[in-house]
Structure 1
Amino acid sequence: GQDKATLETFFDALGPERSALITHVSADGAAWIASVVAERAPNAVRCADPFHVVKWATEALDEVRRGAWNEARKAARHNDARRTRGRPPADAPARPDSARATGIKNCRYALWKNPENLTEKQQTKLAWIVQTDPRLARAYYLKEGLRVIFKLPLEEATEALDKWVGWARRCRIPSFVKLQKSIVKHRTAILASIEHSLSNGRVESMNTKIRLMTRIAFGFKSPEALIALAMLSLGGHKPVLPGRD
C-alpha cells in the first residue's frame, strides 16, 4: 500500500523504542508521510528524495511540452484549412507548422533524459528545440538546473537552490511558478537530503527485486514462502544452504 495506514502499520510493527532510534527518513513530499514520521519518529531528520523532486520538474517540463505541441497542432490545422482551396500536390513537402508539431511530439525523451545520456539524434532534437521554441527550452534549463543542485556541496547547493527559486518565480511559465512554491515548502528537506547524501535509491532497488520475486511466486500456496524468499535474498544474512560447496 501507499497510504497513511500502511506507514502506521510499519511503525506499529517496529515499536516505539526502535522508532525513536530512527535518525533520518528519506521520502517524497507527500504530506501524509511527513505527518506520520513527525508523530512516530520525532527524532528523525526528513529528507526529500532527489529523484522525486527532479520528477516534479520533469512533469512541469512535460506540461510545457504538451502545451507547445497542442499550440503547434492548432496552428497546423488552422493553416491547412486556409490552404484547402489551393490543394497542394500529394508529394508536396510538409508545412513548417506541421513539421514543428511533429518535432515537439518526438522530442519527449530528449527533454527528459540527462544530457550526458543523450544519443546523437536526441542532441540534435534538443538543439532544434532551443532554436525554435525558447519557452520550452527555458523550461528544459529549469529542469536541468534543479537536477544539478543535488550534485553540489551543501553550501553551494543552498545558494543555487535559492537562485533557482528566484529564476522559476520570474520565468512566466505557470507550471514552474507553481513548482517553485513546492520547492520553497520542502526546502529544508531538500537541503537535508543533500547534506546527508540520502535518497530512496536502495529502497527502490529492493522493491524492484521484490516485484520480480512476486512474479516468480505465482502459484505459491501462501505468502509466507514469498516473504521467506525475500528475506533470504535481501535480508542481509545469507546462510550456507545444503548442497552448496
Structure 2
Amino acid sequence: MLNLPANVVTGTPRIEKDRIGGDLVIVPVRPYSRDMGRCARCGEHDRPYDRLPARRWRHLDIGCTRLLLEHAPQRVDCAEHGVTVAMVPWARRQSACTRDFEQRVAWPGVHAPRSAVSRLIRVDWKSVGPICRRVADDLRSQRGAGLFDHLRSIGVDETGCRKGHTYMTVVVDHDRGHVIWMHDGRGQKVFDLFFQALTPARRESIRVVTGDGARWIDECVFRWCPMAERILDGFHIVSRATDALDKVRTAAWREARKTGTAGKGAKDPVKGARRALLKDPGRLTAGQKAQLECVANTNETLWEAYKLKERLRMILRQTAGEAAPMLRQWAADASLSGIKEFSKLGEKIDRRRFDILRTIRSGLSNARLEAVNNRIKTTIKIGYGYRNLDNLIALVMLKCGGLNLQLPGRQ
C-alpha cells in the first residue's frame, strides 16, 4: 500500500510531529541482504567499517502526511574508494530523498517554476534544482554511451543564458531530434570537449555538421571530423543580410535626422519601415507595401540594400545548380554596390560560397536547434533565471534530451 522501494520494513511505523506541528510517518527499513555492504560509488560488496546513526529519507506522501524512511547506514572500506557510506537502493548517493520522490519533484520541475514546485510538494525551493540535476544525471548514466550512438548529422549553436553575453553551447542530433550535449561557454575550447567525449568510431560516423559561419566550428570540425560535411544554416545566412540591411536603415535615419528631413517617431518613412524591410514580401500588409514604395521613392541606397537582401533569400530557395552562378553574381554585385555593410557581406558570401551551395544541396538547417534555443529561453523565463547553469542544463536535458522521465508508479 505504501509503495516502498526495494527494502525490508524492520519495525512498526510511528507518527511524530515536525517543527510546525504537522504529522510525519516514520517507517524503519533496511536494504535487502543482497544490497547491504555495497560501495555507493562503484556498487561492489566490501568489508564493513562501522555504522552511522540513523538517517531519514523523504518518500512519497501518504495523502497530506509526509512519509520518511529511517535507516542507520553502514560505512564500508572500499578497495577503490576507501571508507565510504554504503549504498541504499532506495536513494541516490548524497541525497536525502528517495528515487521515487525525486522523480515526483523533477517531473513538475521541468514544466513549472521552482517556487510552484516547492509549494506543491513541500520542499525547499533551493533543493528543486539539485534534485532535477541528480535525476538527469541518473537517467543519462542509464543511457550510458548509447546517447552518442549512431550519430550521423549534428547541429551546433550557442544560446544566451544570462545577461552580459553569457552563452552555452548546444549540440543536437538531427536524426533523433534530441539535445545530446550542452556545456557552459562557447568557442573552440568548449566545442572540443564534445568531440573529446566521443570515441574515434563515433567521430568517424558523423557525416554532417550544421551551424552558423563561426570559424571555431569550422576549425573543430576540420580537426576532429575531417570527413564530415560542413553545412551553413540558411537562417543564419539570411540573418546576416537582414542585419546588414537594418544597419543601412539605421544609418539612413540618422542622416535624415541630421539634415532635418526625418519625421517624428513611427511616421518617419525610414524608421517606421523596419518591419516591412525585414519581413517576407509574401506576408506584407497593404500598409507595409506602401511603406516599401515610399522607401523606393525616397532612399535609393536603402532600396538597393533591400533588393540585395531579397535576392539572397530567393537564391537559397533554388536548386544547387541554379544557385551557383546566381550566388557568384550576387557576391560580385554586393561587393561593388558601394554600401559598406553589403560590401563586407559580399566578401564573406564569396568566401563561403561552396559551403552555402552544400547547404542548398543538403536541404538541412538548424531549425530544430533554433526550436531548442526557444525552449531553453522559455525554461529560463519560467525559472526567472538560473544562477547555477548545471541545474539549467539538467532541466534542458530532461525536457529536450529524450530522457525517459516518468512519474513514479507509471513506468
Give the TM-score band, short-chain normalised. 0.7 to 0.9
User: What's the CA shift for 1:229?
Assistant: 4.5
Distance in 1 (alpha carbons) for counterparts of 2:372 and 2:355: 23
**Shift in alpha-carbon separation, 1:3–1:219, aligned structure 2, 3 A:** closer
Residue aligning to 1:63: 247
Deviations 1:100-127 (A, max 9, x none): 9922111111111111222222111111
Q: Is the 8 A contact 2:210 2:231 kept in 1?
A: yes
Distance in 2 (alpha carbons) for counterparts of 1:138 and 1:218: 43
Q: Is the 8 A contact 2:331 2:346 kept in 1?
A: yes
Distance in 2 (alpha carbons) for counterparts of 1:218 and 1:175: 37
Distance in 2 (alpha carbons) for counterparts of 1:239 and 1:207: 21
| Bigger share in strand | 2
Residue aligning to 1:127: 293
- Structure 1 unmatched runs, 5+: 77-96
SS at structure 2 position matched to 1:98: coil
- Percent identity over the alignment? 40
Aligned length: 225
Q: Is the 8 A contact 1:24 1:44 kept in 2?
A: yes
Distance in 2 (alpha carbons) for counterparts of 1:37 and 1:162: 26
SS at structure 1 position matched to 2:364: coil
Q: Look up the equivalent residue of 2:281 and give its one-letter code.
A: P
Q: Is the 8 A contact 1:61 1:139 kept in 2?
A: yes
Of 19, 25, 43, which residue of structure 1 is paired with 2:227?
43
**Shift in alpha-carbon separation, 1:225–1:242, aligned structure 2, 3 A:** farther
Residue aligning to 2:359: 193
Residue aligning to 1:32: 216
TM-score by length of 1: 0.81
Residue aligning to 2:347: 181
Residue aligning to 1:112: 278
SS at structure 1 position matched to 2:268: helix
Of 240, 244, 258, which residue of structure 2 is paired with 1:74?
258
SS at structure 1 position matched to 2:270: helix
- RMSD over equivalenced CA pairs, Å: 2.6
Residue aligning to 2:53: none
The residue correspondences of 1:224-235 to structure 2 (distance < 5 A) are 229-235=395-401
Of 138, 144, 152, which residue of structure 1 is paired with 2:304?
138
**Shift in alpha-carbon separation, 1:139–1:244, aligned structure 2, 3 A:** same
Structure number with larger C-alpha Rg: 2
Distance in 2 (alpha carbons) for counterparts of 1:166 and 1:215: 44
Larger relative contact order (CA 8 Å, sep ≥ 6): 1
**Shift in alpha-carbon separation, 1:219–1:51, aligned structure 2, 3 A:** closer
Residue aligning to 2:369: 203
**Shift in alpha-carbon separation, 1:220–1:41, aligned structure 2, 3 A:** same
Q: Look up the equivalent residue of 1:51 and give its one-letter code.
A: F
**Shift in alpha-carbon separation, 1:159–1:215, aligned structure 2, 3 A:** same
- Structure 2 unmatched runs, 5+: 1-184
Q: Look up the equivalent residue of 1:72 and give its one-letter code.
A: A
User: What's the CA shift for 1:8?
Assistant: 1.0
Of 20, 38, 53, which residue of structure 1 is paired with 2:204?
20
Q: Is the 8 A contact 1:129 1:137 kept in 2?
A: yes
Distance in 2 (alpha carbons) for counterparts of 1:182 and 1:124: 33
Of 71, 87, 98, which residue of structure 1 is paired with 2:262?
98
